[in-house]
Chains A and B, each alone.
Chain A
């Protein structure tokens, strides 16, 4: 072939041949020789061996670490066991408890009839509890009180031992208690820590008819007879009322407080309580004393009391009624016809609705408002009106369940305007 086409083809073939030769030459030079291949395999084998050794070492480390972790866990558990089982303090301290309560009052009361004023601040009660467990079944409890802050000649205060008893479990839910104890009557007498009741001062019915705080020496049985039904039965020392003077046959001044007290005539008190519904307590109690004057006038006396204490949600209701009946005795100048006639019957009652609510969102704690109507009569045996009335309205504020601030306004009406003290009271109390 001749011409341009033939020339072009020839050149192309020459170029292609040159390229193929070059490629073949590179291939021949890049392919490893068998010796080189052997060397490569040797190096790879060495790498594999090294990795295998490292893996085994890592696995061994993991095994050692796991063992150490397990050992450490065991040591930590053993240490925790040892710490938790180390006795904390002496054994008597573990079995001994301290508690208490207190209340500071401010009273601002006026009597328009007599023109007298009471503008007074008083640390009314400072109380310490001490309790001790001898064993799981034998225990001791006491309550020591300082009233009105200061004692001594000419001072208003007193140091009083209000409880000091030993108790032991006899059978399941039945206990025996011996010593000096609170009389199981009413609402306030058994439970009188300030955060547990409304009003700065205790209500006048459970002051003048049930002489709260009322304690005697004796021996009692306490227990449960059915779910929600509880009983108390106590044989104890009795009251000793005056037989002459302004306090003749009055109940409250008749407390001997177990201080070298006459023990000629004791008394028996029984109480049944029903608490079988949440928030409810129904209580009934009775007392008999063969001679309220401890041999001076032969006056036997009975006390009957009943109460309800109910709280559902924020709503609360307390109501109580109590009555003493005293016979005339042997002297002819007894409570019916003696120096203060009419004291053969002494009674009182009160009712106290309340509402307690949370203050969350405003300030911490709870606020409770209440109103209480009280009526009582220590000379009810005479034909004329001798009863006294008192209305209390106020609030409690609990910033913590065991701390309370109180305010109330009181208005008294009575057999005589000379007895009407009206005004307001402030208080702060605590328990622990």
Chain B
């Protein structure tokens, strides 16, 4: 009967621990991300309306529509920053992405809420996206190696990277629009 008693003790310890637990999964606030992206002086936000011209491309990348009428973004000197969310397996992953002259300059997981696959937040994974551009079929111009057991989180991150590149091309700060 030792096993049930051990479990009971651990259950009580768990409840006690949970009362003092801290919020988890927030790795950087959007404000800090934007400050880093724009050398401490982020510009005023701009808005990109999700019009009929943009919708098909978004649907092709995400395999669903965006649930908003327009997106807020920050732009300056050919550089745009986007805060995007996409569900991995069950829960949304909040990602900050900076695009400079049509290529990914930085990608960072800001909030990760999934039960597994948190390795996607580390530079050893996100560095694969640096310099990536949109190629044919709105695919990235390179292969992204995944993480075993976190296939859906990897897929979600790849989708938002492609989406940010598409949105940048339709923003006021895209090449040829300034």
Contacts and interface: CB of A to CB of B under 8 A. Distances in A.
B21 interface: yes
B93 to A, nearest CB: 14
Interface size grouping (class) on chain B? 35 or more
Given A99-B90, A235-B6, A281-B149, 9 more contacts: A80-B70, A83-B69, A84-B69, A97-B90, A169-B25, A218-B7, A235-B10, A273-B149, A311-B146
Contact of B23 (A80, A137, A218): A137
A190 B122 CA distance: 23
Given A80-B70, A133-B91, A265-B3, A168 B122 contact: no
Contacts of A235: 3, 6-7, 10
Nearest to A176: B14
Contacts of B151: 196
A167 B21 CA distance: 13
Contacts of B119: 227-228, 230, 275-276
B1 interface: yes
Interface in B90-148: 90-91, 113, 115-116, 118-119, 122, 124-125, 128, 137, 143-148
B11 A173 contact: no
A178 B23 contact: no
A224 B147 CA distance: 15
Interface string B19-39: 001111100000000000000
A175 interface: yes
A237 B145 CA distance: 37
A355 B144 CA distance: 16
Interface size grouping (class) on chain A? 35 or more
Interface string A270-290: 000101111111000000000
Contacts of A264: 1, 3
Contact of B24 (A172, A187, A313, A360): A172
Nearest 10 A/B pairs, CB to CB: A281-B148, A266-B3, A279-B145, A278-B145, A169-B24, A80-B69, A172-B24, A309-B148, A170-B21, A275-B119
Interface in B140-178: 143-151, 155
Interface of A: 80, 83-84, 88, 97, 99, 131, 133, 136-137, 139, 141, 167-176, 178, 187, 190-191, 196, 218-219, 222, 224, 227-228, 230, 235, 237, 263-266, 273, 275-281, 309, 311-313, 360, 401
Contact of A227 (B11, B89, B122): B122
B149 A313 contact: no
B70 A278 contact: no
Contact of A136 (B1, B90, B113): B113
B41 interface: no
B124 A277 contact: yes
Contacts of B10: 219, 235
Contact of A219 (B11, B25, B124, B146): B11
Residue among B25, B90, B144 facing the most chain A CB atoms (10 A cut-off): B90
Given A137-B24, A228-B124, A281-B149, A167 B69 contact: no
A281 B11 contact: no
A35 B145 CA distance: 95
Contacts of B116: 222
Given A172-B24, A313-B143, A276 B115 contact: no
Contacts of B147: 275, 278-279, 281
Nearest to A401: B155
28 contacts: A80-B70, A83-B69, A84-B67, A88-B67, A97-B90, A97-B91, A99-B89, A99-B90, A136-B23, A139-B115, A141-B90, A168-B18, A171-B22, A173-B118, A174-B24, A176-B17, A176-B18, A178-B14, A187-B148, A222-B116, A228-B119, A230-B119, A235-B7, A265-B3, A276-B124, A279-B148, A311-B145, A360-B137
